[in-house]
């Protein structure tokens, strides 16, 4: 299209307040002659709901109508989450348009060995003249039935985590202002700098390299968003611990802010937990196993064992009322949110109308694989129960509590507690 | 956050960096790029203790504005022409956003720099925010705008519709194939750094001019996160540039990503901004002017060109070619004309351009009326059913175009169309660069070099193929673009909601069958195909048939 470039504006018209040829000097403007500014004008369009009647104008048309809600009424969470990640078994008639080098496309259902009913049914085979072949009986497979009971989307995600960090900041500030750290027993100071500090690494690795690393792999947007939200909480908690460690370095004379690195890298008590944490990042091509091993096995048998049954039980007798609030935030993350979505995700699979046996056997195999490693890690940590002046409950009692908790989770999932738990 | 300074806090969280001691993490996603471990700094310097309250505050402002808009009866002043195009835009954009979230772990797997992983993880959370905040905006439009049809079934529509499939490149391209090609070059270096300016800055300004100040509220909030993502991409790019072996791949990927973004984003956003607005002030910027400012000056000259000194081969020729397409070859106008031609296969309403629009286009794009004016007058003439067919089946000197196999926008600049037999199938491409993308770049060997991790272009990329031989009424029903009376179409070529003036399936039933250009192309003999191409290249502008005297 010929013609001058559209961004070229003649100099004379660049500023209407300064006309050319000195005109402004001879005809000064008065305040009543202010030139009209070039701005869009409001226009009454009457384009609001209910202004006219026509097909699709009723109140019943004002809902997303392309999915079936899990309950009678669709939730806000469902509205902003369901179907955002398409599925060729539903409406994605042209199929995925980019593939990996090995031919895989989109979100393959075999990226876990778990199965939900319907997954073995073939995708519609579309071609010239077939039409869209949209699946009429939806959902086409059981994965689409999952809803995160935490109903995580941006508002819940930010409100929850912002509340946690605000509360933590206030707690730590209050402790600082009241000189509460000076009440700590000296051995407890070393325990916190070394061992509470070491725990930050576990949360960080799980957050980034287990939960975030798998949020590309789940079969639906609900799964992947739940994993992303779980990841965000883990990474936040790791940073909470790191910044708490920084505060203590500033507030307590002699507090070694780098001792956690030494503990993490070389203390014998931590190497079992470290090896297990790293093993969780190495689960091959199975997001289901990674989530299961982390949230069903590792967290109750190692995570809660350390956080609840050691740190939170030991702190008060050693003069520390602050650390339990920091640890408690992470504990609440797990017990109130991470575990909730995990049970909602995995429990239906053990009752699946097509693959219940397959899934139960698979999960039983995962328990056989991961529970011994978790118990070994837990036992490696046993000397920590003797590290502080004022001792927490006995290690064996703590471990029994963790085992009971774990057995309860297995029951919630419809699984038998593994024989290995007796170790 | 507490008294700890951000810099100190950020320094502290670097102690979390992990060097595996017992097990290496499973690397699911692969790349043909090579990276050496390098101490590249996290450019975001974001700590979650301040990040979460900051984002919560941003959210509160967005949701406060939404309450205010409803109480202030914003929808009494919203231009329907504008909101109708949002049915397309807001059905597409939540998927690219969530795909960007999904692409971040691909980078963890291939970029050996724990410090950068922090920034990538925060980007992941940001993108979940963007996807859901946009789904929520669409929900608000559905609840409060006069015509909810098209919003209420948007994700079904988007997944079935050819426009949605074009848009899906801006999502699947982030998450599939070579991890660096997808998640770094295509997503952060080109899509986010260059084209979010027109998406999230230029377009909201146009929304405000059309009485919609919620789109700017939401998308400026989104854009304030994008600047951090741009830093992520830059840091990864510098790491890639430090290895000479990567330069050939970087050159390939920049060419592909630049051209594909131009084809897809300029088609869609250009149409929204030029043809979705009622603001025809002569001094408001045209899309071409915006493009020149946001993409040519801000991105190309200020961001991309300086990277030459690090050894990056910049696709200067393609930047200039994109500009030529927009300015000289009328790319955006051709696309808008095509979208309107195919209104019946859409799920939003497109009204005709008026005299006031004509005057503005002629002022901004001299010669516009000679090219497109007559066709738009025909569009207005054929807008309400009156014994005639929709414009696509009427004689208005418009040749229905073939589709580009790569970018899936039709081959609208007719002179540029090329063909090749690839993977046993004759394919049309809108431009030589799109041919190169499919036939050469997305292959396991590139210029003699093994590229085993490069992705593939797959799927039923020509929408018409699926409905070859179908009656139009059945096509529209199958796609679900029908209102709740079971016969009135969701799409209309005008904005009048009087049911007597709306097209129904009965009108569609009278039309001839839909035929797939690609199926027909593959049924031709070689000689017929050559003649077809020669004729096609002489067609246009504005889809006109080839002159008979040449």
Whether chain A has a CB inside 8 Å of the CB on B12: the answer is: yes
Mean pLDDT of all residues belonging to chain A: 92
Q: In the structure encoding, which two tokens stand for residue B231, read together? A: 């830093």
Q: What share of chain B has pLDDT > 70, as a percent?
A: 97
Which residues 244-273 on chain B approach chain A with CB closer than 8 angstroms? Answer: none
Whether A11 has a pLDDT exceeding 70, the answer reads: no
pLDDT recorded at residue A154: 93
Whether chain B has a CB inside 8 Å of the CB on A106: the answer is: yes
What CA–CA distances, in Å, run from B349 to A69, A176, B90, B108, B389?
A: 28, 62, 15, 43, 17
Mean pLDDT of A104-123: 96
The SS3 of residue A236 is helix
Give the residue from A213, A227, A333 with the most B CB atoms within 10 Å of its CB, the best one to mutate.
A213
The SS3 of residue A105 is strand
Whether A13 has a pLDDT exceeding 70, the answer reads: no
CB atoms within 10 A of CB A221: 26
Give the pLDDT band of residue A29 (cuts 50, 70, 90).
Answer: low
How many alpha carbons lie under 13 Å from residue B49 in its C-beta half-sphere? 29
Q: What residues pair up with B492 in beta bridges, in sequence order?
A: B349
pLDDT recorded at residue B191: 94
Nearest CB neighbour to A94, from listed B25, B281, B460? B460
Q: Are the C-beta atoms of A329 and A335 separated by less than 8 Å? A: no
Q: What residues pair up with B419 in beta bridges, in sequence order?
A: B428
Question: Is the CB of A55 less than 8 angstroms away from the CB of B483?
Answer: yes
Q: What share of chain A has pLDDT > 90, as a percent?
A: 87
pLDDT recorded at residue B114: 86
Nearest CB neighbour to A285, from listed B20, B28, B139? B28
Task: In whole angstroms, give the CA distance from residue B494 to residue B81.
Answer: 9
Mean pLDDT of B528-541: 98
Mean pLDDT of A32-58: 92
With beta carbons under 8 A apart, name residues in chain A contacting B480.
134
Task: Name which residue leads in pLDDT, A6 or B264.
Answer: B264
pLDDT recorded at residue B366: 97
pLDDT recorded at residue B196: 86
Residues 6+ apart with CB under 8 A from A81: A153, A221, A222, A225, B132, B135
ipTM of this predicted complex? 0.96
Question: Is the CB of B149 less than 8 angstroms away from the CB of A61?
Answer: yes
Mean pLDDT of B163-181: 96
pLDDT recorded at residue B198: 83
Whether chain B has a CB inside 8 Å of the CB on A165: the answer is: yes
H/E element holding B129?
Answer: helix B114-144
Which residue in B has a C-alpha nearest to residue A15's C-alpha?
Answer: B283
Count of pairs with CB atoms under 8 A, one residue in A, one in B: 419
Task: In whole angstroms, give the CA distance from residue B400 to residue B115.
Answer: 52
Question: Is the CB of A209 less than 8 angstroms away from the CB of B18?
Answer: yes
Give the residue from A88, A239, A275, A370 with the most B CB atoms within 10 Å of its CB, the best one to mutate.
A239
Question: Is the CB of B145 less than 8 angstroms away from the CB of A49?
Answer: yes
Question: Is the CB of B94 less than 8 angstroms away from the CB of A84?
Answer: yes
Which residues 131-190 on chain B approach chain A with CB closer than 8 angstroms? Answer: 131-133, 135-136, 139, 142-149, 152-156, 159-160, 162, 165, 168-169, 172-173, 175-178
Q: Are the C-beta atoms of B90 and B145 separated by less than 8 Å? A: no
Task: In whole angstroms, give the CA distance from residue B383 to residue A284.
Answer: 57
Which residue in B has a C-alpha nearest to residue A1's C-alpha?
Answer: B328
Mean pLDDT of all residues belonging to chain B: 95
Whether B1 has a pLDDT exceeding 50, the answer reads: no
Give the pLDDT band of residue A4 (cuts 50, 70, 90).
Answer: very low
Whether A22 has a pLDDT exceeding 60, the answer reads: no
Residues 6+ apart with CB under 8 A from B426: B419, B420, B518, B521, B522, B524, B529
Nearest CB neighbour to B121, from listed A235, A247, A265? A235
Whether chain B has a CB inside 8 Å of the CB on A96: the answer is: yes
pLDDT of A189-241, one tens digit each?
A: 999 999 999 999 999 999 999 999 999 999 999 999 999 999 999 999 999 99
pLDDT of B265-320, one tens digit each?
A: 999 999 999 999 999 999 999 999 999 999 999 999 999 999 999 999 999 999 99
Among residues B402, B442, B471, B481, which one has the least CA distance to residue A93? B481
pLDDT of A64-98, one tens digit each?
A: 999 999 999 999 999 999 999 999 999 999 999 99
Nearest CB neighbour to B76, from listed A45, A128, A162? A45
pLDDT of B69-111, one tens digit each?
A: 999 999 999 999 999 999 999 999 999 999 999 999 999 889 9
Whether chain A has a CB inside 8 Å of the CB on B500: the answer is: no
Give the residue from B159, B212, B320 with the most A CB atoms within 10 Å of its CB, the best one to mutate.
B159
pLDDT recorded at residue B229: 86
With beta carbons under 8 A apart, name residues in chain B contacting A54.
147, 488, 497-499, 502
Which residue in B has a C-alpha nearest to residue A228's C-alpha?
Answer: B125
Among residues B377, B156, B188, B500, which one has the least CA distance to residue A132? B156
pLDDT recorded at residue A229: 98
Whether A367 has a pLDDT exceeding 50, the answer reads: yes
Helix ranges restricted to H, A312-355: 313-314, 323-332, 339-350
Nearest CB neighbour to A231, from listed B121, B144, B146? B121
pLDDT recorded at residue A131: 96
With beta carbons under 8 A apart, name residues in chain B contacting A225.
98, 128
pLDDT recorded at residue A241: 98
How many alpha carbons lie under 13 Å from residue B409 in its C-beta half-sphere? 30
Whether chain B has a CB inside 8 Å of the CB on A70: the answer is: no
Q: What residues pair up with B482 in beta bridges, in sequence order?
A: B489
Give the pLDDT band of residue B64 (cuts 50, 70, 90).
Answer: very high
pLDDT recorded at residue A35: 84
Whether chain B has a CB inside 8 Å of the CB on A275: the answer is: yes
Give the pLDDT band of residue B3 (cuts 50, 70, 90).
Answer: low
Considering Cα of B403, then B406, then B407, then B413, what sign does the dihedral take? negative
In total, chain A counts a number of residues equal to 423
Whether chain B has a CB inside 8 Å of the CB on A286: the answer is: no
The SS3 of residue B65 is helix
Which residues 438-457 on chain B approach chain A with CB closer than 8 angstroms? Answer: 444, 452-457
Peptide bond into A27 cis (omega under 30): no
In total, chain B counts a number of residues equal to 550
Which regions of B413-479 does DSSP assign to beta strands (E)? Answer: 418-422, 425-429, 445-446, 449-450, 456-457
Whether chain B has a CB inside 8 Å of the CB on A381: the answer is: no
Q: In the structure encoding, which two tokens stand for residue B524, read together? A: 């031709």
pLDDT recorded at residue A8: 39
Question: Is the CB of A261 less than 8 angstroms away from the CB of B15?
Answer: yes
Whether A1 has a pLDDT exceeding 70, the answer reads: no
Which residues 299-358 on chain A approach chain B with CB closer than 8 angstroms? Answer: none
pLDDT recorded at residue A6: 42
Phi-psi bin for B365: left (phi > 0), alpha (psi -120 to 50), beta? beta
Question: Is the CB of B152 less than 8 angstroms away from the CB of A64?
Answer: yes
Among residues B91, B219, B142, which one has the least CA distance to residue A83? B91
Give the pLDDT band of residue B4 (cuts 50, 70, 90).
Answer: low
Give the residue from B20, B22, B42 with the most A CB atoms within 10 Å of its CB, the best one to mutate.
B22
Nearest CB neighbour to B49, from listed A38, A40, A243? A243
Whether chain B has a CB inside 8 Å of the CB on A54: the answer is: yes
H/E element holding A98?
Answer: strand A98-99
pLDDT recorded at residue A210: 98
- Residue B431: DSSP 8-state: S
Whether chain B has a CB inside 8 Å of the CB on A231: the answer is: yes
Question: Is the CB of A57 less than 8 angstroms away from the CB of B147?
Answer: yes
pLDDT recorded at residue A407: 97
Whether B550 has a pLDDT exceeding 80, the answer reads: no
Whether chain A has a CB inside 8 Å of the CB on B20: the answer is: yes
pLDDT recorded at residue A420: 87
Nearest CB neighbour to A91, from listed B63, B160, B516? B160
Whether A30 has a pLDDT exceeding 70, the answer reads: no
């Amino acid at each position: 299209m010929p013609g001058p470039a559209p961004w070229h504006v003649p100099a004379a018209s660049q500023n209407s307040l300064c006309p050319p040829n000195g005109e402004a000097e001879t005809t000064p403007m008065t305040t009543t002659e202010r030139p009209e500014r070039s701005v869009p004008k409001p226009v009454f369009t009457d384009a609001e709901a209910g202004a006219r009647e026509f097909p699709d104008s009723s109140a019943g048309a004002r809902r997303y109508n392309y999915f079936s809600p899990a309950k009678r009424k669709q939730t806000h969470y469902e509205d902003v989450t369901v179907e955002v990640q398409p599925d060729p078994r539903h409406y994605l008639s042209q199929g995925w348009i980019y593939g990996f080098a090995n031919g895989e496309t989109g979100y393959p259902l075999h990226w876990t060995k778990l199965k939900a009913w319907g997954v073995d049914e073939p995708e519609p085979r579309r071609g010239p003249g077939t039409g869209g072949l949209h699946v009429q009986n939806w959902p086409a497979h059981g994965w689409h039935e999952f809803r995160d009971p935490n109903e995580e989307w941006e508002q819940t995600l930010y409100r929850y985590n912002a509340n946690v960090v605000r509360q933590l900041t206030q707690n730590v500030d209050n402790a600082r202002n009241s000189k509460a750290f000076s009440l700590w027993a000296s051995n407890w100071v070393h325990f916190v700098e070394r061992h509470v500090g070491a725990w930050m690494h576990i949360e960080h690795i799980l957050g980034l390299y287990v939960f975030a690393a798998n949020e590309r792999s789940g079969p639906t947007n609900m799964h992947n968003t739940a994993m992303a939200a779980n990841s965000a909480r883990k990474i936040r908690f790791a940073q909470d611990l790191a910044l708490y460690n920084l505060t203590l370095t500033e507030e307590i004379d002699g507090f070694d802010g780098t001792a956690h690195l030494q503990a993490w890298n070389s203390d014998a008590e931590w190497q079992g937990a470290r090896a297990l944490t790293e093993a969780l990042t190495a689960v091959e091509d199975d997001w289901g196993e990674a989530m299961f091993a982390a949230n069903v096995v590792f967290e109750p048998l190692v995570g809660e064992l350390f956080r609840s049954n050691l740190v939170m039980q030991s702190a008060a007798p050693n003069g520390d009322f602050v650390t339990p609030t920091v640890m408690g935030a992470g504990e609440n993350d797990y017990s109130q949110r991470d575990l909730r979505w995990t049970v909602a995700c995995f429990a239906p699979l053990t009752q699946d109308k097509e693959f219940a046996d397959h899934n139960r056997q698979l999960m039983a195999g995962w328990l056989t694989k991961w529970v011994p490693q978790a118990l070994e890690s837990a036992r490696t940590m046993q000397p920590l129960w003797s590290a502080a002046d004022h001792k927490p409950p006995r290690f064996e009692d703590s471990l029994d509590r963790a085992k009971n908790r774990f057995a309860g989770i297995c029951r919630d999932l419809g699984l038998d507690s593994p024989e290995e738990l007796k170790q | 956050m507490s008294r700890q300074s951000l810099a100190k806090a950020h320094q502290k969280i670097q102690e979390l960096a992990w060097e595996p001691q017992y097990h290496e993490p499973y690397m699911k996603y692969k790349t043909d790029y090579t990276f050496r471990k390098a101490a590249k700094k996290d450019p975001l310097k974001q700590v979650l203790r301040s990040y979460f309250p900051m984002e919560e505050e941003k959210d509160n402002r967005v949701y406060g504005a939404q309450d205010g808009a409803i109480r202030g009866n914003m929808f009494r002043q919203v231009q329907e022409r504008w909101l109708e195009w949002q049915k397309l835009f807001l059905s597409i954009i939540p998927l690219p956003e969530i795909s960007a979230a999904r692409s971040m772990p691909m980078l963890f797997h291939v970029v050996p720099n724990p410090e950068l992983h922090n920034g990538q993880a925060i980007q992941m959370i940001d993108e979940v925010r963007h996807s859901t905040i946009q789904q929520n905006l669409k929900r608000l439009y559905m609840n409060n705008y006069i015509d909810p049809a098209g919003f209420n079934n948007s994700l079904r529509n988007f997944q079935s519709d050819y426009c949605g499939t074009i848009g899906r490149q801006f999502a699947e391209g982030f998450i599939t194939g070579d991890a660096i090609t997808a998640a770094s070059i295509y997503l952060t270096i080109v899509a986010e750094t260059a084209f979010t300016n027109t998406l999230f800055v230029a377009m909201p300004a146009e929304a405000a001019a059309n009485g919609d100040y919620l789109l700017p509220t939401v998308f400026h909030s989104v854009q304030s996160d994008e600047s951090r993502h741009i830093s992520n991409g830059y840091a990864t790019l510098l790491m890639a540039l430090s290895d000479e072996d990567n330069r050939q791949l970087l050159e390939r990927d920049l060419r592909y990503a630049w051209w594909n973004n131009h084809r897809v984003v300029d088609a869609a956003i250009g149409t929204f901004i030029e043809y979705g607005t009622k603001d025809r002030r002569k001094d408001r910027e045209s899309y071409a002017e915006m493009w020149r400012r946001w993409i040519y000056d801000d991105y190309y000259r200020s961001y991309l060109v300086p990277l030459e000194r690090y050894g990056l081969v910049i696709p200067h020729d393609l930047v200039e070619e994109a500009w030529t397409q927009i300015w000289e070859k009328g790319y955006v106008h051709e696309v808008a004309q095509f979208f309107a031609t195919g209104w019946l296969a859409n799920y939003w309403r497109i009204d005709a351009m008026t005299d006031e629009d004509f005057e503005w286009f002629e002022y901004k794009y001299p010669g516009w009326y000679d090219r497109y004016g007559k066709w738009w007058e025909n569009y207005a003439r054929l807008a309400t059913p009156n014994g005639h067919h929709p414009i696509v089946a009427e004689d208005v000197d418009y040749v229905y175009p073939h589709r580009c196999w790569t970018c899936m926008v039709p081959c609208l600049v007719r002179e540029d169309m090329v063909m090749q037999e690839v993977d046993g199938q004759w394919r049309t491409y809108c431009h030589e660069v799109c041919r190169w993308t499919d036939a050469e770049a997305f292959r396991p060997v590139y210029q003699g070099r093994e590229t085993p991790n490069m992705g593939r272009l797959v799927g039923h990329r020509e929408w018409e193929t699926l409905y070859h031989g179908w009656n139009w009424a059945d096509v529209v029903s199958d796609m679900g673009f029908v209102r709740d009376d079971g016969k009135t179409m969701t799409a209309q070529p005008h904005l009048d909601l009087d049911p007597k003036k709306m097209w129904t399936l009965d009108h569609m039933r009278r039309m001839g069958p839909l035929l797939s250009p690609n199926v027909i192309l593959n049924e031709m003999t070689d000689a017929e195909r050559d003649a077809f191409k020669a004729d096609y290249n002489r067609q246009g502008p504005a889809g006109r048939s080839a002159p008979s005297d040449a």
